[in-house]
Structure 1
């Protein structure tokens, strides 16, 4: 979620200026360094935000602010992705065009496909908020924005089956996550970077009492497993809809990169999602854990109504990175994309691999 239209102060305007707010400390990006890669990809996403703001404010040519966000890292914007309904720019495809090749700095992706999140501007907020509402009901895959995104991803993979990176922030992370899942089910694993991806369930992680939080998670898991068993036996439509989960095991070896902030209620539940699974195994509740890893209460409700679909957050494996900077942050600060290119060492990463 970014910005408000009509804000003309230098402080507001400067955050869109790469030279003021961007990661200018990265004078030479080392693609072997995860911090550098994260910073560059987050900058490309910010470039899409600024692209749309440039369009709305009619900034073109030398007045456009967006190009600096990718030119600095030797990328070209080869295509912008346009929403068919509000005509906004919701994504872009970047191609790496190095001036000098430096083997010691690793191999950069040839193409990076990125999607912005919700932009609270007059021209975009209605459409973006509509898509935000669709996420818990698993309707994203039926929307024209997702279909355009998925078609473009397929097109790039035909050009370059490897060395492609997929990324998004907030709503854009949900699009990238869903597309990455759909491609993984087809046997194509794309390197994926998801910044503040929405977790379409109650943010239990925000509860400060660790003991109470654990008990709630266990109770929720047991209820989910119980409803699943009842639905499996008694609801014909649900039994038919569960065929989509047969391909779940194919996702286990696909490991997207998740970047979350514990202070962000939109994405913080991913922390509990993965940490709780380890506790369930310690308690000997492996079968319950297996069910809740594949199903959610909302997905079962959708299935009971005879509709296909699953929440994007149901993923078995991930490299989870938390921004653990010890400062009091507002929700807006905890959700912003710029936190992921700041020159700090407050990120803690942990690999979670699901073994069926």
Structure 2
């Protein structure tokens, strides 16, 4: 075993494009000071890089105002920031059973604290949310709808445009989790009536870990939930109310922002549609091979349209963690086993509490990698 076959890109893309890593390190080495915290030229240059990245992200998501692009540590951080900053005591929230714990746990916490109530809309047998069910779950006191654009277990791409239209008709803010979709699936906040988008940089956007953010439509008001230095209005003991500083406290992750910027450049050159088509094609290849193995169950129909390139499976008489360990130890194939931080999906699919094994090809995966994974699974199934 001389080389790892990495099929865990839904967790983090690896390796990153060399051009992104080299450009990130070179830029940070040259301009790695606190952005906007000093009056000297280098600090101003660093701040300029931050603002340019905000503009790129706003264009990427079809957002009208770059100043409402807020940097955070990751999508989980951004989801907490937005959910806790939007809801008020007595509010109701609608979400889905497809969601990651980064949505489910903040909602459960707020409900346990007596702040909100919430309802979860189920997905159908194919892994999709019906927009009509979202609309029907909205109550007079519903303030927020939270939906993932792509499931991290089923791989299904949800009809965000249709959901956004129904939320707009009801006057309810739609928050979209794009952790699995940004860089693969288009999203237009303005045209699709999306109030806020949470994203992370370390997955399909090909940036480093530790950077993500929140994009907020001008019609949406989010209250800060943490407070501190912003580099502006320092004489006041009250945290500033202006965007983006309203939701950013402390020194920004400049290296992460630079890496995210170069990742966006890479995605722009490759083309979102072509990246999705390539990875979905590899997922389809994997499905066709795995379907020939009788002991394997595949979740949903990952080779169908409206799916990102990931495949979750179980194997009869093999615990998912054992299966992942064998793939790693005996075949040099890295995958993700368990509940994937989405327990309600596995409950619905009958795979709880053990979960499944997720294969997720990425930017540098090849057809040969997929053939190796199929052959490994076939070999394991014989024992």
TM-score, normalised via structure 1 length: 0.27
| Structure with the larger RCO, 1 or 2 (CA within 8 Å, 6+ apart) | 2
TM-score, normalised via structure 2 length: 0.26
